[in-house]
Structures are given as C-alpha cells and as structure tokens.
C-alpha cells in the first residue's frame, strides 16, 4: 500500500471518528479523546528518534512544553489561529530538536538520555523565570466557547479535537512513510550499528539530525493547542513527568519498530489512564504506566507487535 492510499484511509477513519464523536457530542468524550490523540502524536514523534534510530529521549516534556509555551507567547505577542500555532511550534521545537541533536550527537545510550533529561530541566528553569509567559505563576488563556467555521458554529473543544485528529493523521502518515523510505533504512542502520552504517555510506550525523528535528517538531506540534485545551498553563504541568514517561512507555508497550506500535500503545495506555482518572483517582495514572511498563518488559520486551510477530512465526513453522 503506498503512502497516498494509506493517507486516504486514515483520513476516512479520522472523519468517521469525528462524525461519531460529533453525533454523540459529549464534551467529556472530546476532552478525554483529545488527550489520547495528543499522546498518539507524542508517542509517534518519540518513536521516530527512539524506536527507529534507537536514541532514547527523556526530554519529550521539554519539546511538548516548548510547543505549548510558543502558543502562550504568540497569544500575548500576536494572537494567531491554532493551525498557524502548529506551524510556529513545529519550527521552534524543530530547531530545538536540531540543536539538541547537534550538541549531543557524540553521546550514545544512557549518556544521550541523561543529556535530554538535562535539557528539560534547563528549559523548565528558563520558563519559570520568564515573566512574559507567566513565569512560575503560569498563564491563563481564556478560550472562546465556540468558533465560526464556514458559517457553522462549532464547540471549541470539538474544534481542538478535530485539529488534534488531523495532526495525528499527519504524524502517522509521516511515520509510516519514513519507515518505508530510504530515510527509514538509514534510521534502522543507526539503531543497529553506526560504524557499519558509515562504512556503507550512510551520513549518520545528517540522518540523526533529521530524526531529532522531525521528532522535536511533532512533539512541539502536539503541545501547540495545549494551553487552549487546558485554559491555564503552568511550568509544572507543561513539563510534567507524565509526558516524558508516557511518550517512552507507549511505544515500548506497543512496539518500537513500526508506526503501529506507538498508536496501539497510546490508545491502550491513554484510555486506561483516562478511565483511572475518572473512576479511581488522577494520581493512579502514573502507577498504571509503571505497572504496565514492568509487565511488558517481562512478558513482551518487543511490545505487542513483537508478541504478535512471535506468535505468527511460531504458527508458521510448528
């Protein structure tokens, strides 16, 4: 199946989801699904660097927050419609991803992971001390009740949900296209063996920088509408541990070698968390992530995809 066909299918599925949600029209449903979609984008973005190239990024929250704070900044500086904010956030976080890649490209394994964690801490400190975007007090963004769109009035949360759905489609199509392209092969050589990759003519530095840039840009885009969604943004929520942990845990649980993994992981883990938040307590969230991660590391170290592939292989040659 080529990329265009796949894109069309995801658009149809997306439109169906949108129509279904619109038909039910429960605000909470939009609210909860938005979070899951946001995590699909974050997990997919993380996987482009972490899964395809094998570089574990602990700083997802930093990129997400960069996207969110770009929106806060623009809101005060020169208000733009949200689709334009996606582009602003993509540029800001993409550049940050490029920079992070450039500064840390000599580091491998745990050293790279620690450097990305440090980036998150440094950025959070900067934001806390930056009065213009609210500093440690945070920033309020009062979102309108609804939005006029081609003569139709749409509930604002539904509007945000629709945009996030669109971003999810773009992220999934991009991830899948990369997987099947020359770039995807290049990413895989970096995960497997960088020295051998260079010997085969792969410009590893350039390929890695492409990965950090794309990954960073998508994480930023995932954060762009967040201030409008939440209404009040403070550093501790934008840089929350849950973003860093979830964007690692979701691809790990789903499987890191394909675009399907982060999608499944995010839906599974995201729904479980939403359910726990409502039925038990919002603090149970991270406990669930932790328990599931431990369970999967033991039962299915290659995620659900790896598990299914293993079964298939065993079934084919008995």
Dist CA 14 CA 257 (whole Å): 23
Q: Residue 224: which of 77, 119, 88 has the closest Cα? A: 88
Where does 87-244 show beta strands of DSSP type E?
139-140, 146-149, 152-155, 232-233
| Footprint (CB under 8 A) of other proteins, residues 236-295 | 257
Q: What are phi and psi of 177, to 5 degrees?
A: -65, -40
**Which CB, 16 or 199, lies closer to other proteins?**
199
Q: Are 232 and 243 spatial neighbours (Cβ–Cβ below 8 Å)? A: no
**Which CB, 54 or 138, lies closer to other proteins?**
54
Q: What SS3 state is found at 154?
A: strand
Binding residue (CB under 8 A) for other proteins from 83, 109, 192, 281: 192
How many Cβ atoms are within 10 Å of 51's Cβ, its own excluded? 29
By CB under 8 A, residue 17 contacts other proteins: no
The binding track of 131-170 with respect to other proteins, each residue x by CB under 8 A or -, is ----------------------------------------
CA dihedral 254, 224, 16, 264 (to 10 degrees): 0
Binding residue (CB under 8 A) for other proteins from 50, 94, 101, 186: 186
Give me the least distance between CB of 183 and other proteins, in Å please. 10
Q: What SS3 state is found at 295?
A: helix
**What's the CA angle centered on 116, arms 112 and 119, to 5 degrees?**
140
Dist CA 150 CA 153 (whole Å): 8
Task: Kindly indicate which of the ranges 2-10, 124-132, 139-147, 185-193 contains the residues binding other proteins, using the contact rule CB under 8 A.
Answer: 185-193
Long-range interactions of 268-272: CB distance < 8 A, separation 24+: 268/304, 269/39, 270/35, 270/36, 270/39, 270/40, 270/246, 271/36
Q: Residue 230: which of 134, 154, 166 has the closest Cα? A: 134
By CB under 8 A, residue 185 contacts other proteins: yes
Please tell me the count of residues contacting other proteins according to CB under 8 A: 20
Binding residue (CB under 8 A) for other proteins from 8, 12, 16, 196: 196
By CB under 8 A, residue 198 contacts other proteins: yes
CA 235 to each of CA 84, 126, 139, 222, 227: distance values in angstroms, whole numbers, following the listed order: 23, 10, 9, 16, 11
**Which CB, 203 or 290, lies closer to other proteins?**
203
| Footprint (CB under 8 A) of other proteins, residues 203-242 | 203-205
Binding residue (CB under 8 A) for other proteins from 193, 281, 287, 295: 193
Give me the least distance between CB of 204 and other proteins, in Å please. 7
Task: Kindly indicate which of the ranges 5-13, 82-90, 142-150, 188-196 contains the residues binding other proteins, using the contact rule CB under 8 A.
Answer: 188-196
**Which CB, 85 or 202, lies closer to other proteins?**
202
Task: Kindly indicate which of the ranges 21-29, 115-123, 199-207, 273-281 contains the residues binding other proteins, using the contact rule CB under 8 A.
Answer: 199-207
Give me the least distance between CB of 53 and other proteins, in Å please. 12
By CB under 8 A, residue 199 contacts other proteins: yes
By CB under 8 A, residue 201 contacts other proteins: yes
How many Cβ atoms are within 10 Å of 286's Cβ, its own excluded? 17
Task: Kindly indicate which of the ranges 83-91, 125-133, 195-203, 238-246 contains the residues binding other proteins, using the contact rule CB under 8 A.
Answer: 195-203
Residues that bind other proteins (CB under 8 A): 182, 185-186, 188-189, 191-193, 195-205, 257
């Amino acid at each position: 199946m080529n990329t265009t066909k796949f894109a069309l299918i995801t658009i149809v599925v997306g439109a169906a989801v949108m129509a279904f949600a619109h038909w039910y029209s429960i605000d909470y449903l939009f609210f909860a699904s938005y979070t899951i979609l946001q995590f699909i984008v974050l997990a997919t973005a993380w996987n482009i660097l972490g899964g395809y190239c094998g570089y574990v990024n602990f700083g997802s929250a930093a990129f997400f927050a960069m996207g969110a704070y770009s929106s806060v900044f623009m809101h005060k500086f020169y208000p733009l419609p949200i689709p334009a904010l996606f582009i602003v956030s993509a540029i800001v976080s993409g550049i940050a991803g490029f920079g992070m890649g450039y500064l840390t490209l000599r580091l491998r394994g745990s050293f790279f992971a620690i450097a990305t964690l440090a980036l998150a801490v440094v950025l959070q400190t900067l934001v806390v001390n930056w009065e213009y975007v609210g500093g440690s007090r945070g920033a309020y963004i009062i979102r309108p009740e609804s939005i006029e769109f081609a003569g139709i009035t749409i509930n604002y949360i539904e509007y945000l949900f629709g945009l996030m759905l669109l971003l999810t489609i773009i992220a999934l199509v991009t991830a899948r296209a990369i997987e099947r392209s020359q770039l995807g092969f290049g990413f895989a050589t970096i995960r497997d063996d960088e020295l051998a990759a260079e010997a085969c003519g792969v410009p590893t530095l350039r390929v890695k920088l492409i990965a950090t840039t794309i990954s960073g840009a998508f994480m930023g885009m995932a954060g762009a509408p967040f201030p409008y969604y939440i209404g009040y943004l403070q550093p501790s929520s934008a840089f929350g541990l849950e973003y860093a942990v979830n964007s690692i845990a979701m691809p790990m649980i789903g499987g890191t070698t394909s675009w399907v993994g982060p999608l499944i992981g995010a839906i599974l883990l995201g729904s479980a968390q939403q359910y726990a938040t409502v039925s038990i307590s919002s603090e149970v969230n991270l406990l669930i992530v932790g328990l599931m991660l431990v369970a999967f590391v033991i039962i299915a170290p290659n995620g659900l995809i790896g598990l299914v592939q293993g079964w298939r292989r065993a079934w084919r040659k008995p």
